[in-house]
Structure 1
Amino acid sequence: MRLYSMYFICKNNIEIIRNFKLDTLSNGTGQINRVKGWTDIIISLNKLANVPGIKKYSEKLYESVPVMVRERDGFDLSIDVGGKVESARKELLCSISTIIDMYEQMGLAQSTDTGFDIRLPQFYSIKDFSNCIKDLEFIINQCPFLNVPDGEIKFKSADVGSFWITFFVVGTAASQILFNFSKLVDAAVKIQSHIVTVKQQEEQFRSMQQKNELTSDLIDAFRKVNKSLVVSAVHELEPGLGSLEDGEEVDKVGRSIEKLADWMNKGLKIYSTIDAPKEVRDLFPPQEEQLLLNDDVIKLIEQKEKK
């Protein structure tokens, strides 16, 4: 993992770990420590477990909580066990702070320009990398919803040695562009699985085309299904983002959504910049994270999402 990725994860989770406190209460026999909001801590620990050198401290904090209560969002601990939890929290917080301080003291930290970060997928060929950049260029420069008067998306930087690239948005329409982009991403997320399934089925039948002439009809059918999904997604955006002028604009928005969905399926992720205002951070859908700590984490997070 490259340094910016480590910094990004640490910066976005340090406040949760810093604010994790154990309340001290008295009961009939003495004092206890009470934990609240453990599920939110688990989610942050799982993200921090992606960072080399910090995973062991994330695991230590997680495992400092007794097994019988780890799946609860709130629970009571003895003072002795609570002390171990607090000690593990401080160790983790110190490690997170070290990475953040090192990155910022090197002068690498992002400025407060409003914008978004894109983490590209892992590439194994220069062709795939080139195609991804070309598709991003098309989305940013050709999508009508992102090309509005008095605003512009500009390339800012690429993190050396990693797959992170940063864009910032300028002009009086910057907030509108970010809002539109977030809705475009949301649309891509919604149809992502459908687009991928249709493309996979189309590829399967295309490989059979020479063996069976009837498969050409099926391929056409899959293409029509795919186009219908994309066009429907475009029209769902219009009431909130504005009407499109003609079929060409509908096509450009549709292709932008389809390209986003395709690359997101391959691992591309989009985030607001680290220091963006809360209203900007809230625009973008949450990104799925790989679960690294323990199988029990899956159950705990699922329980949290159902509430």
Structure 2
Amino acid sequence: MTTLGELEQLKQRLEQATIKRAHLYFILKEKRTASIPFTVYKTVHSPALSTAFFDMFKLSLDELIRHQVNIEPYDINMDSNESPQYIPLENVTHAPLINQPIINDATTEIFEYVDDDTIKKMWAYAVKVTFDDEHIIYYRKYSSGKILRPGIFNAIAYNGGRFTHVEENIFQIPNDVDAFSFNNEIVVLQPMNFERIFGYEELYETASQNALQQIAATHNYVNMVDLSTFVGTDGRKKRKLAAILNNGLIPQMGFDQICTTIQLYNLDIQINQATQEFTLTAKNAFLFLKALNDDYLRSEITANRYEISSKRRT
């Protein structure tokens, strides 16, 4: 498990290294049906950009250390960015597809031709930071919206009191780091972006369908056609269903349990006591899923009741 002490040592090695460089890679997302969902391209860029990417990671690392927050094991129930998390690389299904072309990039294709199809597939970028005989890889979610293209955007540059028209593609690179590989683990700073980068959406698709099937087989308190429709393509609802399945809560959360939650927390879900059913709408479907995931808790000290966005079992 990655600790703050290890990150402080990493910072020292970065500062003391005699060889310091960083290299940018773009990650393109292929169609869902593709056998290999990601394609990684290396780039050719100036030494100044290498220094900038190196410093970008160091600043993010400094910020992480400064907050002195414990790094927790990765948990699907943690939705917020308040606490960094770690997950073994072997548990991230698509990590080898992204990392191997970066670590061993001798045969990795160079990113040199940008057309409409390429831009549509822009998914993320990664930077390999090398310091002496070590390296880390950091990742950032990306999209075609951050590319300014001549003829589509009227991009102009200002320099020395003069505006000029920009005739090349401009790639905006955010300063934030979503996650980074270190010590055979990935340290996660932005859980949602981390999951998108590494294709968790496909995993949640399967898990959500399994959860819906289990709800239908175990309970009859909601219209499953309606619930499936309201889940639809909503990634947040699919992730919540995956959490419900992971937590093994479906058999425990019967009509009485959810009914109590709805009443105690004044949830906007209509209850039919005669038929023992809940009436779901597009607006309250997520509230129902949160109730099913036991996301409404009472403080043992103050007796206050809370709707929580993240939780970790103690």
TM-score normalized by structure 1?
A: 0.26
TM-score normalized by structure 2?
A: 0.25
* Structure showing the higher helix proportion among its residues: 1
